Structure 1
Amino acid sequence: MITAQKNQISATLAELYNDAKYDYLKMMKGAAKSIFGPMKPEDFKEAYLSISEDQGVELVKLIKENDLQHIVEFGTSFGISTLFLAQGALETKGRVVTTELIESKGKRAIENFEKAGVADLIEVRIGDAMETLKDHDERIDLLLLDGWKDLYQPLFQMLEPLFHKDTFIYVDNADMAESRAFLKVVGQNERYQLEPLFNGKVVLIKVK
């Protein structure tokens, strides 16, 4: 059963990555708006902004090797990273809670989860993550930060009481200025161990 579900996830991911190949112009269109003002999430409502396949494979490995079950994601987009999380959760009998600001993206992601046959493993919360996750009260084994970078710090602080020894926080786009500022603050706390991955694009934080 798990093998069949994993194959279904892999097929859906292949389709999404194929679509993402034609996503560059949408990303550039969104980025171009920053010339006339600050970038906003709405500027990228049609862009995939996905993690790489190599990152996805490593995420699955991390979940399986550490038996991570309670997974929270900030930044669903169209659900590529979420599907990798679900693939790992299949092995650990876990679940994924993911949040997406843009309603149209959240709805597309739900369709992708249904196509992949893992919608029952994923709870999608649409809206501002500071609101959709503020009442979250389950322990967090893995937190994936892959949304708007200025929310990394406040979201981390809000969810911090739910961390435990051996919780992992996976920080994507760690090489961006706001991410670096956030990581500098976290790195000053002896409770956390930081490990750069993928040439610094990702930083994995482990709770000691």
Structure 2
Amino acid sequence: MINEQNIQIQNTLSHLFIDSKKDKFNVLKGLTTSIFRPIQPSDFKEAYLSISKKQGVDLVQLIKDNNLKNIVEFGTSFGISTLFLAQGVLETNGHIITTELIESKAEKAIKNFKEAGVNNLIEVRIGDAMETLKNHNQPIDLLFLDGWKDLYLPLFQMLEPNFHSNTIIYVDNANMADSKTFLNTIRKNSNYKFQSIFDGKAVLINRKKQ
């Protein structure tokens, strides 16, 4: 059964990655707005802003190796990273909560999850993550940060009470300015250790063993 679901996920991912390769125009269109005003999430409502296939495969292995079950994702977009997360939790009998600000993106992601046959593993929350995750009070095994970068720090701080000794925080786009500011702030806390991966594009944060 798991093999059949994995095939279904892979088929959906293949279609999404084909679409994402055609999507350079929407990314560039979003970026050009910075000429006139600061970039906003809505500027990328049609753009694929996803992790790479290699990152996705590595993410699945990370979940399996550490038996991660309770996953929270910030930044669903069209659901590419979420599908890799789902592939991992198929093996661990886990569950994903993912949150997306742009409703049209969330709706497309939900459609993709249904196509992949894993919508039962994923709870999609639509809106500002600081609101949709405000009352989260369950242990978090993996926090996947891949949304608007200036929210990494307040979101981390809000969810930190739900971390435990084996929690992993995966920081995507760690080489961007706001991400670096976030990481530099967390580095001041001696309870955490950091591992850079994919040539600095991503960083894993873990609690130090006491």
Q: Paired residue for 2:174?
A: 174
CA distance in 2, matches of 1:33, 1:187: 33
Which digits, 9 at most, give the CA deviation of each residue in 1:140-188, with x for residues without a partner?
0000000000000000000000000010000000001110010001111
Instruction: State the 4+ residue runs in structure 1 displaced beyond 6 angstroms.
Output: none
Q: Paired residue for 1:29?
A: 29
Q: 2:32 is paired with a residue of what secondary structure?
A: helix
Amino acid aligned to 1:57:
V
Q: How does 1:103-122 map to 2 (within 5 A)?
A: 103-122=103-122
User: Post-superposition shift, 1:190?
Assistant: 1.3
CA distance in 1, matches of 2:177, 2:3: 40
Q: How does 1:40-59 map to 2 (within 5 A)?
A: 40-59=40-59
Amino acid aligned to 1:73:
E
| 1:128 and 2:128 are equivalent in the alignment | yes
How does the TM-score come out when normalised to structure 1?
0.99
**Higher mean C-alpha displacement, 64-73 vs 181-190:** 181-190
**Higher mean C-alpha displacement, 184-193 vs 81-90:** 184-193
Which digits, 9 at most, give the CA deviation of each residue in 1:11-64, with x for residues without a partner?
000000000011111000000001100000000000010000000001000000
Which digits, 9 at most, give the CA deviation of each residue in 1:181-205, with x for residues without a partner?
1000111111111000011010110
The total of aligned residue pairs comes to: 208
Q: 2:199 is paired with a residue of what secondary structure?
A: helix
User: Post-superposition shift, 1:207?
Assistant: 1.6
How does the TM-score come out when normalised to structure 2?
0.98
Q: Paired residue for 2:184?
A: 184
Q: Paired residue for 1:202?
A: 202
Q: 2:26 is paired with a residue of what secondary structure?
A: helix
User: Post-superposition shift, 1:137?
Assistant: 1.1
Q: CA RMSD in A?
A: 0.4
Amino acid aligned to 2:35:
I
Percent sequence identity over aligned pairs: 64
Gaps of 5+ in 2: none
